[in-house]
């Protein structure tokens, strides 16, 4: 039985956690306090805001009489467009996360199967998609999927942004599968033994006893993955989806004002920070809470 | 008291009342290259309490796990109520319904409260009626002196309380046999008493028990038969009085000397 041998490796859990986090887990207790741990803090956001203000000021200083629109005016004019585009990024991240999680749980179950071929396929798919660059997967989806397809004579369009979302869902799927495998492996073997001794079947143990305990452990790395995915949605700009990066480029070329470049991109950065920062903080809080309880 | 008859002569039929409840004969088990059990044979009669002692790593836990097929054996035979445990066609789940096991580390399900820990297996495995199971579970909690702790999660209970929940959880399946693997080893001396009391009551009610334990005083009181294992073989066995007062083997003497 595989699960029994790969017991209790708490380090196995985080897939995409920061290095410091990984080092502090599973080692001797003494070590964990020696490593400085960097965390996203509010002042990181203030720093970004500072960059934005600084370059806005310098853009304002560079203002020449033949350029009528001020930076503030440009911001006001384009703000609705950029915000709408950012909402689009978030929609893509939500969709990709949902699809990726559903598929990833399926893949994880395959990977944990005692049947060898099923396990092997699950393992291979996970490894493949986890170790392929996200951008390459995105390109594959863009160029391999048709732009429309027919079901029962009805032609369903398959727009670029859906293809991009699928492309982003693939690595999410593999990472979710891996998070799940790690979480299952981190459950002490005694749980399996006790459940087996009570005559539960393997399936009952997996779904009734092991996985419910895993959800708690999976939540922090899963949320971490979501934050990473959200930031990765800008990759879709490379394949021409009208998300916030693409729109910013368009705005900048329409304005044709080099001094606007840095303020506008700083603004985009700030948008992502404002969205991802609370997620990161909440993840940290969860991790801390679980670390205390375990 | 288990007789010294050849366990090989036991047949699958259930006619003979003398047939042992559990019968091991020449059991072998290796993990990789290391042979952990090197030919162990013994019988346990219905209602008997057998205690196994021995130094760490001598294969006691492994032996218990072989009896309910948590670990496959490499040679020999184990029969529980006349049925060969390591038969490839054996219905393992049917076997495990008859054999309850309690572990050193309690192994309660941490996401379920005490009552649910007891009720899960009878409902999901035996498919018994929820209300009946609930009544029985409440009675069992009372029996292990934990009335009022139904809603407590394992993390909220002391070690001794958790271990008693674990015993009640095994009993909720109405097993014919109970296996105890050093169930008091992780407890502090005060709580050891509560757990031993529970086991004693079980033994007095006629439950067939195999205990691996380091509680020599308790073993002496409760056991019908003692076994000492060392490096995968049984070094000495006998009724407790003789076993403790008059050990024949040098290894038994030195082991008892260390412990007592
Ligand atoms: N799953 C396993 N894989 C490999 N080796 C194992 C496994 N389980 C037990 N062993 C080894 O088998 C030997 C006997 O282990 P076992 O747990 O049965 O001893 P024990 O008598 O119960 O000891 P203790 O008193 O410390 O509990 C040990 O050397 C142990 O390392
Ligand atoms: Mg042991």
At A76-120, the pLDDT tens digits run 899 999 999 999 999 999 999 999 999 999 999 999 888 899 999
Q: Average pLDDT of chain B?
A: 89
pLDDT-based confidence at residue A36 (cuts at 50, 70, 90) = low
Kindly determine whether residue A193 and residue B111, on different chains, have CB atoms separated by under 8 Å. no
Say how far residue B226 (Cα) sits from the centre of its chain: 14
Binary contact (A199, B96; C-beta < 8 A): yes
Question: pLDDT value at position B69?
Answer: 92
Q: What is the pLDDT of residues B36-90, one digit of tens each?
A: 999 999 999 999 999 999 999 999 999 999 999 999 999 999 999 988 988 888 8
- pLDDT tens track for A202-214: 999 999 999 999 9
Instruction: Report percent pLDDT > 70 for chain A.
Output: 82
CA distance B112 to A23: 31
Nearest chain B Cα distance for residue A243, angstroms: 42
In terms of pLDDT, which residue wins out, B73 or A54?
B73
Q: Domain B3-259 belongs to what architecture?
A: 3-Layer(aba) Sandwich (3.40)
Q: List residues bridging with A31 in a β-sheet.
A: none
Closest A-chain CA to B155: A293
* Mean pLDDT estimate for chain A: 82
Put simply, whether A213 touches B (Cβ < 8 Å) is yes
Domain boundaries, chain A: 42-61+70-289
Q: Which ligand is nearest to the CA of B58?
A: 1
Q: How far is A199 from chain B (nearest CA, A)?
A: 5
Mean pLDDT of B221-233: 93
Decide: B109 in ligand 1 pocket, CB within 6 A.
no
Mean of the pLDDT values across residues B92-110? 93
Answer yes or no: is pLDDT of B216 > 60.
yes
What are the residues whose beta carbons fall under 8 Å from the beta carbon of B77, sequence distance 6 or more?
Answer: B7, B8, B23, B24, B25, B26, B27, B84, B85, B86
Return the exposure string of A221-244: e unless at least 16 CB atoms fall within 10 Å of the residue's CB, then b.
bbbbbbbbbbbbbbbbbebebbbb
Query: Closest residue (by CA) to atom 28 of ligand 1?
Result: B57
Instruction: Please judge whether B65 and A193 are an interchain contact, meaning their C-beta atoms are less than 8 angstroms apart.
Output: yes
ipTM topping 0.85: yes
Measured CA to CA, the distance from residue B208 to residue A237 in angstroms comes to: 71
Give the pLDDT of residue B257: 85
**Per-residue pLDDT, A90:** 95
Q: Which fold has domain A42-61+70-289?
A: MetI-like fold (1.10.3720)
């Amino acid at each position: 039985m595989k699960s029994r041998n790969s017991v209790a490796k708490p380090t196995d859990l985080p897939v995409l956690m920061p290095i410091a986090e990984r080092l502090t887990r599973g080692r001797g207790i003494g070590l964990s306090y020696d490593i400085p741990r960097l965390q996203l803090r509010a002042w990181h956001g203030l720093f970004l805001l500072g960059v934005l203000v600084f370059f806005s000021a310098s853009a304002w200083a560079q203002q020449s009489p033949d350029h009528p629109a001020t930076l503030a005016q440009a911001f006001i004019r384009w703000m609705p467009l950029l915000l709408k585009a950012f909402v689009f990024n978030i929609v893509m991240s939500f969709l990709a996360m949902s699809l990726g999680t559903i598929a990833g749980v399926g893949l994880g179950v395959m990977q944990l199967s005692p049947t060898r071929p099923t396990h092997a396929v699950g393992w291979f798919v996970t490894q493949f998609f986890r170790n392929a660059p996200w951008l390459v997967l995105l390109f594959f989806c863009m160029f391999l999927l048709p732009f429309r397809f027919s079901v029962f004579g009805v032609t369903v369009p398959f727009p670029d942004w859906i293809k991009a979302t699928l492309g982003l869902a693939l690595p999410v799927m593999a990472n979710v599968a891996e998070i799940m495998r790690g979480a299952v492996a981190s459950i002490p073997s005694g749980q399996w033994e006790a459940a087996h001794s009570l005559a539960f079947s393997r399936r009952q143990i997996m779904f009734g006893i092991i996985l419910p305990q895993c959800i708690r452990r999976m939540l922090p790395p899963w949320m971490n993955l979501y934050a990473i995915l959200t930031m990765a949605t800008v990759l879709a700009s490379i394949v021409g989806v009208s998300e916030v990066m693409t729109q910013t480029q368009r705005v900048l070329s329409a304005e044709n004002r080099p001094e606007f470049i840095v303020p506008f991109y700083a603004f985009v950065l700030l948008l992502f920070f404002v969205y991802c920062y609370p997620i990161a903080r909440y993840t940290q809080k969860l991790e801390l809470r679980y670390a205390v309880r375990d | 008291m288990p007789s010294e008859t050849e366990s090989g002569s036991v047949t699958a039929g259930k006619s003979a009342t003398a047939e042992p409840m559990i019968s091991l004969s020449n059991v072998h088990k290796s993990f990789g290259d290391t042979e952990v059990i090197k030919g162990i044979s013994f019988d346990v009669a219905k209602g008997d309490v057998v205690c196994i002692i021995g130094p760490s790593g001598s294969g006691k836990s492994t032996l218990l796990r072989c009896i309910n097929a948590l670990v496959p054996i490499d040679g020999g035979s184990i029969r529980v109520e006349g049925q060969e445990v390591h038969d490839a066609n054996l219905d393992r789940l049917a076997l495990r319904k008859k054999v309850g096991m309690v572990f050193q580390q309690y192994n309660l399900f941490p996401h379920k409260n005490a009552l649910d820990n007891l009720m899960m297996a009878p409902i999901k495995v035996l498919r018994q009626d929820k209300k009946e199971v609930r009544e029985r579970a409440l009675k069992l909690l009372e029996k292990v002196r934990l009335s009022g702790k139904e809603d407590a999660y394992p993390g909220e209970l002391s070690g001794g309380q958790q271990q008693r929940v674990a015993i009640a959880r095994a009993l909720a399946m109405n097993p014919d046999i109970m296996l105890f693997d050093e169930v008091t080893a992780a407890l502090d001396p005060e709580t050891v008493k509560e757990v031993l009391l529970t086991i004693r009551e079980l033994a007095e009610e006629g439950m067939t028990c195999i205990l691996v334990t380091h509680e020599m005083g308790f073993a002496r009181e409760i056991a019908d038969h003692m076994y000492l294992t060392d490096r995968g073989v049984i070094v000495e066995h006998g009724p407790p009085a003789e076993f403790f007062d008059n050990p024949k083997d040098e290894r038994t003497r030195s082991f008892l000397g260390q412990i007592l």
